[in-house]
Amino acid sequence: MVKPLACAVAIALAALSAGPGISGESVALVSIALDLPAEGQLQVAADVVGLVAVTAHVTLKVEKSGPSGHATVTQAQDVALAAGAHSRAAMLTVSFAPGDRLSATATLAVDDIVISTATTETGAPDAAGPGEAK
């Protein structure tokens, strides 16, 4: 059994920021969660919570590079939230191996105005490990 990354919650909240929403208030927040569903795979999800009832547009963009290959994947959709409601609005799974690097950005917009973003990066800073030639 593969266990979730121990730091998924910390990563999801560390880069969380909310901007002004409707009438200058924050209306919803987006966060990123990471999981390891199987060996060699990394699952990236965009979770949203409505602070008030709102329909918003969520976009999750994942960029991965390294020994297991290169990929850029984007998923986007509208989500209707009730006040206090949580939703897993987008989810992508990519291959992930030692030496890979991943960057993920989730954005939440209302009426084409970005109200919340979350970003995370993980993995090696480059394909070469410590002490290896670059």
68-105 pLDDT, tens digit each: 889 999 999 999 999 999 999 999 999 999 999 999 99
The predicted pLDDT at position 4 comes to: 40
Which residue range forms the structural domain that includes residue 13? 8-121
| CATH number, domain with residue 75 | 2.60.40.2420
Is 115's pLDDT higher than 80? yes
- Specify whether the CB–CB gap between 61 and 74 falls below 8 A: yes
d(CA 72, CA 39): 20
Would 133 be classed as within a structural domain?
no
Mean pLDDT over each residue of the chain, to the nearest integer: 81
Q: Give me the pLDDT at residue 125, please.
A: 64
pLDDT in tens, 9-29: 333 333 333 444 444 467 999
Is 130 part of any domain? no
Rounded to whole angstroms, the Cα distance separating 25 from 53 reads 12
DSSP label of 83:
T
Q: How many domains does the chain have?
A: 1
Residue 120: alpha-carbon gap to chain centroid: 7
Name the pTM for this structure: 0.75
